[in-house]
Homo-oligomer: A and B are copies of this chain.
Amino acid sequence: MTPQALLFDVFGTLVDWRSGLIRDFELHFKKHPCDLDPALLADAWRAEYQPSMAPIRDGSRPSTKLDVLHRENLFKIADRFGFPLGDETDIDWLVKAWHRLPAWADVPSGMAELRKQAICAAQSNGHIALSVNLARYNGYSWDAVLGAEVVGTYKPAPESYFRACDALDLPPAACMMVAAHNSDLLAAKACGLQTAFVRRATEHGPGQTIDLEAASGMDLSADSLTELAHKLRNEIR
């Protein structure tokens, strides 16, 4: 069955967080010289994301915007690696690097193609403002921005997928999760959604070892949103 809605993961699937963070650390270090490898810091900053969400997932910390977590995590890695943060303005600018992440090249045109075929909605653990700013920064558009504030929980909790479908008035089987991460897709599949794997083989840099292939049982697999649009038109009936 052709899906009536596509739900998209954002970080890694649509935007290249690693290149974006490297670029902005390089710019920051022009102002505040430092000979650490920006790629190391990008990976370290991203690695703090899941642990920092754990207390929110288990209810011991109230729902918190990703900007706040990113800021706390930036202080952690600055402490650990010993690099200069600069003043409040510099810190705010670095935290906002997450709002300036570049989309993979196929995203703007691929998303426009996909929106002709189905409702396209962000289903990220990021907050609404972040999804909105990334879309405007990169020139792609959503039909709806769902995610943490709308569904009241985080992926991969089953409720996050069920409530996203419900927000669009659609049963899970009429929705397709689109992600570069098999863990996200398998959780969505367990909730009855269709699934599309988009390969982002350099999300974690040149030595990436995970998510290089779709797990078995995915409905579609593509190397870009453009290819996904083509396959959706031709392979799903």
Contact = CB atoms under 8 A, between A and B. Distances in A.
Interface stretch (A40-48, A137-145, A179-187, A211-219): A137-145
Nearest to A170: B129
Nearest to A128: B167
Q: Provide the main secondary structure of the chain A interface.
A: mixed
Interface residues of A, number: 23
Number of copies: 2
Interface in A16-71: 65, 67
Given A67-B169, A167-B128, A143 B135 contact: yes
11 contacts: A128-B146, A128-B167, A128-B168, A129-B167, A129-B170, A132-B168, A136-B143, A141-B143, A144-B144, A145-B145, A149-B167
Query: What 7 pairs between A and B have smallest CB-CB spacing?
Result: A129-B169, A144-B145, A128-B167, A132-B144, A141-B141, A132-B143, A129-B168
Given A128-B167, A141-B141, 18 more contacts: A65-B169, A119-B136, A121-B132, A127-B167, A127-B169, A128-B150, A128-B168, A129-B168, A129-B170, A131-B144, A132-B143, A132-B144, A135-B143, A141-B143, A142-B143, A142-B144, A143-B145, A150-B150
